[in-house]
Amino acid sequence: MVEAVMLWNEPNNLSHWDFQIDPDWKAFSRMTIAAARAIRRINPKLPIVLGGISPIDPNFICLLKSEGVLDVLDVVAVHGFPLDWNHWSIHDWPRKIDEIREVTDKPVWVSEAGASSFGAEEVQVFGMKRTAELLLPIVDRVHWYSLFDLPASWTATTRHKEAEGSAYYRHYYMGLIREDGTPKAASSCFPAGLGLCQWFHFEDPRLELGVQWLRKLGVRHLRTGVSWADSFRPNAQPWFDRQMSALEEFQTTMTLCFTPEHLGIAPHYTSPPKRAEDFAEFAAWAVERYAPSGVKNPSPPDTIVSTRKREQTLVSAQD
């Protein structure tokens, strides 16, 4: 079941939001507010989570608060990778959570925390155990990133790619399961109560294996994504249906993000959309399809496209 919907992913990270186009995040704020309001009309009780921020920056939370974004959300989420990318110690996790709690009374989730096996699998084992020890007692959700290694033939979702040096290649070693399907050492000591974040790519062949491993690890809380950009691919809706049906047994945070090229100010998945209402329409469609409450607004405003029109758009994209 979908237990929450998350709006975007790492909005203060240039790899996921082009703040050169939107330097004050006003476009992001308008988009997020419009989407949250659209979701409330579909399912008023569904928790809405701010896309996990990376870096963990209380000033960014204050900025969004000043734009009214936090007024329409229920949870603030953060991401941290102190053993791979961040310039702080893994032991500082409680302090990083407190920094966010000092500027908002919203609950704080950790929607991505991880450690790569890039240098040694023992480092990943330590990172996972210590992260669980530090975070599970103080936050309601911790999603470990990730279940699977990124296949070597795939491209990591980051702007500068190989120019990042070893930092780029660490993206490929974040999983508990290697590309060939064999488990790493960390998979044998997965802590009880820890959730997982696993992005399933469009028509991902690992979906069924992923479900098997989630069951084997005893995972209850899962975070995954439904890509706005992918929604315009042929056969998008059947894939989304298949993915969300396969994950029905888990308490899933459904992340909505990635701008379709033709709807962005720039033709890139990190671009702010030309119209905030376009993302709001997608968010409403996704929630109505995968997390409905049964209570629907009979007269949605003109700025929100109906679900029927959304489905017609997807069908047209398949033709």
> Alpha-carbon distance 310 to 169, whole Å?
38
Buried b / exposed e along 234-267 (16+ C-beta atoms within 10 A): eebbebbebbbeebeebbbbbbbbbbbeebbeee
Note the pLDDT of residue 302: 32
User: What DSSP string describes 242-253?
Assistant: HHHHHTTTSEEE
CATH fold group of domain 2-318: TIM Barrel (3.20.20)
CB 222 within 8 A of CB 252: yes
Residue listed under structure tokens 């920056």: 57
Question: What is the structure's pLDDT at 151?
Answer: 75
The pTM of this model reads 0.89
Within 8 A by CB and 6+ apart from 207, the residues are 200, 242, 243, 246
Query: Which residue, chain included where needed, has tokens 């079941």?
Result: 1
pLDDT digits (tens, 9 = 90+) for 151-162: 766 565 665 555
Q: What is the pLDDT of residues 18-39, one digit of tens each?
A: 999 999 999 999 999 999 999 9
What is the mean pLDDT of the segment spanning 97-115? 98
Residue whose pair of structure tokens reads 């047994």 in the numeric block: 249
Domain layout of the chain by residue ranges:
2-318
Q: pLDDT band for 312, please (50, 70, 90 cuts).
A: very low
